[in-house]
Amino acid sequence: MLSVPWRQLIVLAASACAACGETAVSPQATPAPPAPLIVQVENSDAARPQSGLQGASIVYEYVAEGGVSRFSAIYPSPPSTKVGPVRSARLATIALLHQFRGVLVYSGASRYIQSLLDSSGSPHYNETTAAGDLFRSSGRAAPHNLYTDGAHLADLLTHASAPSIDYSFFSRRSAKAPGRSVASFTVAISPAEAPVWTWDAARGGWTRSEPDTGPLLDAADGRPVVSTTVIVQQVAVTEAPQVVDANGAHGVDHQLAGSGAAQVFVGGKEFALSNWDPCGSNSWPPATRPCSEVTGLP
């Protein structure tokens, strides 16, 4: 089983609209799609099983304080399902908000991160400013019980009045070179978070298992969450002393603009990229520009 070292990486798990049968990323001429929704979803053991991850087109995962990871689920349009538990924003979240030019939905943030959001010029809604579009569920204990859903996200999108975007998400492509067959692989996000991804030919994608809680399931139907494409990007991760959690642990910052190596897992194969962003720091989202190596993947 392949193991990807944990230092300096971010995982991009793309369900790629699994219901649509789409896989890799490529620019498409489309009529002015709306700004995507970016929802912060918790990934502690108390948050599992989460809701709504399968409906996202892209799910970024990155380490937060104390080695616990956080998901940023990106929806090109409001999903039909409940999404959550919704949790707080991180520095990487702000980078994604700028890169995807989206609308952020989150529970709250540290004073420093909140100040960056407030000065960002990007629409963002926490439990207070969402005015009822984020709600508490009685089925779980706080703070793991904050949720939203498609109808409430659609309402937030209307209030946000965010500009349309000039990129699109996914279409099927042919591979430029053969990949290496891989049955499963481990990505150690941190010493405390090392999920195992396994190719499931019947489902047409990768399923995920957590070392402590087992298969990653969707709370709505109990089925495994399936990602057609998993991209592991190597990025610089540095301590962020401006961000301190309730236990006194410093936050971390991820350098998401620039370049670096990556591994792309799709169709039961691994494709190694020497540079996940050969176009440079202005090519975000990284896999939507014609010169990106990712466009050559199936």
* pLDDT, tens only, 168-201: 766 555 666 678 999 999 998 888 888 999 999 9
Tens of pLDDT along 203-253?
999 999 998 899 999 998 999 999 998 988 888 887 776 766 656 667 777
Residue 193: name the closest of 176, 181, 208 by CA. Answer: 208
- The architecture that CATH gives domain 31-160 is 3-Layer(bba) Sandwich (3.50)
* Strand order from edge to edge, sheet including 69-75: 124-125, 103-105, 37-42, 69-75, 58-63, 9-14, 229-234, 262-266, 269-273, 180-181
Cross-strand pairs, 270? 180, 265
How much is the pTM?
Answer: 0.85
Query: Using an 8 Å Cβ cutoff, are 87 and 39 in contact?
Result: no
Which residue matches tokens 């150690």? Answer: 188
Domain boundaries, the chain: 31-160, 180-296
